Structure 1
Amino acid sequence: PAPYKGGADNLAALMKKAVEMIDNLRPAPGGTAFLGNSTKLDYSYPDVKKCRIPQKAESVNKVMSDCVNLFKGMPDVSSPLTMSNVWPQPNNASIIASMLPLIFAPNIIEGEYAWNVHKAELESGGMLADLFEWDPAKSGAVYTYGGSGCWFYGLKYAITRVLPGSREKGVRTDGKVLVSAQAHYCRQNATDWSGLGMDNVVVIPTDPESNKMDLNALESKLKELTEQGIPVIEVVCTMGTTDASVFDPIADVRRLLDKYPNPKGYGKALLYADAVCGWSWQTFRYYDFEKNPLGFSPEALRVIKKNYDEIKGIHYADAVGIDFHKFGFSPYISSCFVYKDAAEFENIMRRGSYAYLQEVTPYNPMYYTLEVSRTASGSLAGWATLKYLGIEGLQAVLGGILEVRLYMDSLVEKQTEMVMADADDTGFITLFRVYPEGTDAREQFARELNDRGSRAELLCNNRLQQAIGEKMFEWYLSGHKIDGKPTPHIAYSTGFRNASWNEDGSDAEGTVYALKTYPMNVYNNPSVMDHVITCVLAARDEVEKEME
């Protein structure tokens, strides 16, 4: 980019050209759920790594063309047919805001290199603190490299608080991290990379009906650790799991943590809310459920109210991790670690000064962040989303997509050969099983779920779900059409829960497989979900023919 305006600076023209080029990869109306005309991989592994830096410079037009070509065959997140996971289409304001830092390269290490761009982190942190019913002036936030980064920040905060000597001498005490069985697998990343050790994660069983952390089991473990003089580093409440949208009972967890404090000589255990998938339901704190101004259906309103009632205790947490690139509909990566007590966090995590960095503004997070160089892309994306959508916009998007998901549930319920695998799910996902033609799906699934004697049938129909899921993916990749319309991009789970007769998980194969749709697109609608049902049944029939 040129240093001055008014001169020859072709960045805007090049950007316009690049956007037009990548837009040309989009399908025509009614087209496939991938970009370009083919999903064929354009490389072989590991031969692809035999690349070398070109001896001479290539033209920017060639580089741009080569770059755009990399997107050919990629799932199109803007397509309503893309519903494989928590993969939302980013909103326009967040896309634009996250691109601007690429031009002038603000580094939010400290004020000199970011100046007013720092406001995006400070203001969005304040808005989120207010959303969580904390005092914004006393709270703080750090944008980081993902939900696992938030988890890692929470763990490091907890270790430093409970084991203050660990900063100089390292972790020398086997303190415990308590999580529910539904907690995200990044718990292993965080305890491994922090040096605390994966063996110090204590998994608390979940209630088989609700999938929430079992409070009796938690209290028993806290009591046991207290009696043994072993400190608890932190308890992690998952506030909205990826598939089942389950919220741990955080208010009760806080009560138990206060009842069983750490032994003398250790700091207070941290209560961390992993709310990367659930945080935005808190926006319904401001919703009038009686007047229902956005006109949600009674069933959607019931689910929304349930989600809000589950998450509203989030203010009991010491810190919260959120992803804007999940239920905030923003681009990767826009994760934010929000902490209630800025004075404590920023002081106990503070490191010494740096000779070549000076404090020229009031905000200098370089002293306590994990990262040194930090792009402003994530903070601007999150900040722009909060301002652009606002409370009502987030409510409308969440509720609108929920309506589509509930419609999908109703379609499954109408099919005698399909059954909801998790009918009480309150998120965007529909988990369902499909059975051979003529099968009473509800009766069959109930038997597989509750009768150990039906284990072989469960495993057989698990293989059927997997085969249907793989057939759907094959059709999606090839652009296969059913009734003149492309196959959607959906997914399947190879064990989102154990069978009821296998609650302890002792039978590694005694899990429930399910197909799943995860609509995260504002262009999705009932007709798209009608087509999903048609395609799934066609895939079932094709799989059965191949198995004959």
Structure 2
Amino acid sequence: MDLESYFGDYRLNNTERLVELMRVLNDKVAPYFNPSKPFFKGSYEFSYYEYLRECKLNDKPAKPEEVLDYISPLFQNLPNWNNPGTMINVIPPVNLVGLASSAYSNMFNPNFVQDTFCGLLIASELEVTKYISDLAGWDWTLTHGIFTIGGLGTNLYPAKIALAKAYPEGSLKGYKDKDFFMVTSSKGHPCHQEIFGWLGLGSENCIPLPCGGDDRLIIREAEHIISSNIESGKIFVGLNINGGSTAEYTVDPIKEVADLRDRVVAKHGLKYVPHLHVDAVLGWAWLFFTSYDFEANPLKLPDASLAKIKNMTRRVSELRYADSFGADFHKTGFCPYISSLFIVKNRNDYFLLGKKSAVSLQEMQFGSYSPFETSLEYSRSASGSISALATLRSLGIEGYQTLIGNLVAMTDLLRSLLAQSNSLLVINQRTEGIATLFIIKPKNYMCLSLDEILKLPKEDIMEIRNYNIKFATFVLLKNKLNEISFTFTASRTFKVPGTSIQIGAIKAYPMSVFLNENTVRILVEEILHVKSLYEASHEVIGLVDNEDAPLDATWR
């Protein structure tokens, strides 16, 4: 067996061999790359069962080039996030400096279980934590952060900390015969409740709180619900609120929620302080604007976009009142998956997760730092923190301001141009995020405003909803045929903010750093052209609209 072909030479760092193999793979993947299209080329006639049925592991070693040739077809249909027309989720183009740093570090297989298994690379995690602490207005010498499995992890950590605060014996004795509850926003991510189920505490005991017409928590009702549950004998462990929701980028009134929590503690004489977590995995990036000169406006952002960024920044800056929050660098941080940071204001809270007593930052020395003693994972990759650090350093505060500012400005332009069509309704014209939600009006409803549409009978609402779902399916078909240069998602379940009306919507997430006024105008022209083709076709042959159709799985 030719070991050097697979593992390199132990006397070398083997970078040249790695680059050589990547070039070979790149040449083999190149035929699938599709310039100016949202997806790589490929066949959509693919059965996982049929594929796996033919798979058989080889007995003898295969040549590296043969393996790369075998792997390369799996790159078919891959989304191209750099393309300005790829708007199917909050997934960004990847900063190449961050990617190169994380890929190179992985060649040496560092394990962030403890520093002696990864050298000083683990300092990257602490450094990123310092920078984000500074942006949030926290004392970085008192905070602690850890990169984890994704947004689900950043919400699981605070739930566990909240339980430890309310019932310190729980990890040892279990939670039998205890009735815990946590609260979240009714507009929050479903994982908030799912996590409570995974912890064995019952997902229904993570109680969704009502929101107003702006999708933000109604403080008075939230306080009443929390107090009522405490008075019924339940143990209140904490709150998980929005710091930038996926569609509307809703940020709950964080300071008001913190004050609410403190009132509840005083009113009910709680011997502990329930934990306040903010699910800011998207909204955290607006912290870069806390130092922006909104008066001088050096980026020359349009007035409307500037006002949105200023308001969003004002709301996100209230993270300083929270106990913890999550930040997904693989969403609004332009890093590769997975790079999710959970950060807590008081490091003592973090050390409630394990048996080890809290260690001050000043006491931490190389050779004694062992995150596995408190972390969710024993084995952890270097990818998240290395890519985040390299990206933060390469872009800097002004670089992030430029990228986020441009996305907001181009989103506003996209919405404005779409709204010029009489047959389109942009539902979230004034929201501060970068998701754009709109509906196509069927011919019979062309003259109606959104308010008028919302007053229609349910069967009419369903007709409009189905019309839009079929349009999204039509776009999917055009993508499969490689005929268009954009793609976006559709939701069957979207409700117009402030209502319970499930009208559905087209959802466009413009995330490409290459968006500019020219590319946006070209995109809108093409979207309107495809819409006209759809309206002329009336039917999408061979595609059905029912709850079992594959649309949701593809376009969630």
Cα displacement string for residues 270-290 of structure 1 (whole angstroms, at most 9, x for unaligned residues): 000100111001111010000
Give the AA of the match of 2:9. Answer: A
Q: Distance in 2 between matches of 1:6 and 1:66?
A: 26
Q: Distance in 1 between matches of 2:273 and 2:333?
A: 32
Cα displacement string for residues 65-89 of structure 1 (whole angstroms, at most 9, x for unaligned residues): 2222101122222222211111111
More displaced 10-residue stretch of structure 1: 157-166 or 187-196? 187-196
Give the equivalent residue in structure 1 for 2:473: 470
More displaced 10-residue stretch of structure 1: 466-475 or 88-97? 88-97
Tell me, yes or no, if structure 1 residue 518 matches structure 2 residue 523.
Answer: no
Q: Distance in 2 between matches of 1:324 and 1:55?
A: 41
**Alignment partner of 1:532 out of 509, 527, 531:** 527
Give the equivalent residue in structure 2 for 1:5: 12
After TM superposition, list the pairs within 5 Å mapping 1:113-124 onto structure 2. 113-124=117-128
Q: CA deviation at 1:488?
A: 1.3
Cα 1:538/1:516, change in 2 over 3 Å: farther
Give the equivalent residue in structure 1 for 2:79: 75
Q: Distance in 2 between matches of 1:205 and 1:102?
A: 45
Tell me, yes or no, if structure 1 residue 219 matches structure 2 residue 223.
Answer: yes
Tell me if structure 2 keeps the 8 A contact 1:41–1:73: no
Tell me if structure 1 keeps the 8 A contact 2:161–2:349: no
More displaced 10-residue stretch of structure 1: 430-439 or 405-414? 430-439
Tell me if structure 2 keeps the 8 A contact 1:487–1:535: no
SS in 1 for 2:37: coil
Q: CA deviation at 1:16?
A: 2.7
Q: CA deviation at 1:383?
A: 1.1
Compute the TM-score of the two structures, normalised by the length of structure 2.
Answer: 0.89
Cα 1:6/1:276, change in 2 over 3 Å: closer
After TM superposition, list the pairs within 5 Å mapping 1:79-228 onto structure 2. 79-172=83-176, 173-207=178-212, 209-228=213-232
Tell me if structure 1 keeps the 8 A contact 2:144–2:346: yes
Give the AA of the match of 1:19. Answer: N
Structure 1 portions without partners, runs of 5+: 353-358, 481-485
CA RMSD of aligned residues (A): 2.3
Q: Distance in 1 between matches of 2:393 and 2:457?
A: 53
Give the equivalent residue in structure 2 for 1:15: 22
Q: Distance in 1 between matches of 2:301 and 2:324?
A: 32
More displaced 10-residue stretch of structure 1: 4-13 or 396-405? 4-13
Q: CA deviation at 1:496?
A: 2.1
Tell me, yes or no, if structure 1 residue 374 matches structure 2 residue 380.
Answer: yes
Tell me if structure 1 keeps the 8 A contact 2:489–2:506: yes
Q: Distance in 2 between matches of 1:466 and 1:275?
A: 30
Q: CA deviation at 1:492?
A: 1.0
Cα 1:349/1:18, change in 2 over 3 Å: same
Give the AA of the match of 1:61. Answer: E
SS in 1 for 2:75: coil
Q: CA deviation at 1:250?
A: 0.7
Give the equivalent residue in structure 2 for 1:246: 250
**Alignment partner of 1:32 out of 9, 31, 37:** 37
Q: CA deviation at 1:14?
A: 1.2
Cα 1:535/1:164, change in 2 over 3 Å: same
Tell me if structure 1 keeps the 8 A contact 2:24–2:65: no
Cα displacement string for residues 375-404 of structure 1 (whole angstroms, at most 9, x for unaligned residues): 101111111111111111111111111122
After TM superposition, list the pairs within 5 Å mapping 1:301-312 onto structure 2. 301-312=306-317
**Alignment partner of 1:329 out of 316, 328, 334:** 334
Give the AA of the match of 1:151. Answer: N
Tell me if structure 2 keeps the 8 A contact 1:107–1:376: yes
Cα 1:543/1:95, change in 2 over 3 Å: farther
**Alignment partner of 1:285 out of 290, 297, 304:** 290
Moved >6 Å (runs of 4+): 6-9
Q: CA deviation at 1:215?
A: 1.1
Tell me if structure 2 keeps the 8 A contact 1:34–1:75: yes
Count matched residues.
523
Quote the sequence identity (%): 25
Cα displacement string for residues 31-65 of structure 1 (whole angstroms, at most 9, x for unaligned residues): 432113x2424444376266332211211111112
More displaced 10-residue stretch of structure 1: 400-409 or 43-52? 43-52
SS in 1 for 2:251: coil
Q: CA deviation at 1:7?
A: 8.3
Cα 1:271/1:6, change in 2 over 3 Å: closer
Tell me, yes or no, if structure 1 residue 431 matches structure 2 residue 437.
Answer: yes
Cα 1:275/1:545, change in 2 over 3 Å: closer
Structure 2 portions without partners, runs of 5+: 1-7, 358-364, 544-556
Tell me if structure 1 keeps the 8 A contact 2:418–2:424: yes
After TM superposition, list the pairs within 5 Å mapping 1:374-523 onto structure 2. 374-437=380-443, 439-443=445-449, 445-449=450-454, 451=455, 454-480=457-483, 486-497=484-495, 503=499, 505=500, 510-523=501-514
Give the equivalent residue in structure 2 for 1:343: 348
Tell me if structure 2 keeps the 8 A contact 1:35–1:71: yes
Q: CA deviation at 1:412?
A: 2.0
Q: Distance in 2 between matches of 1:464 and 1:441?
A: 16
Tell me if structure 1 keeps the 8 A contact 2:470–2:540: no
Tell me if structure 1 keeps the 8 A contact 2:215–2:497: no
Give the AA of the match of 1:193. Answer: W
SS in 1 for 2:85: coil
Q: Distance in 1 between matches of 2:15 and 2:373?
A: 40
Q: CA deviation at 1:438?
A: 6.8
Q: Distance in 2 between matches of 1:185 and 1:350?
A: 30
Cα 1:41/1:386, change in 2 over 3 Å: farther
Q: CA deviation at 1:266?
A: 5.3
Compute the TM-score of the two structures, normalised by the length of structure 1.
Answer: 0.90
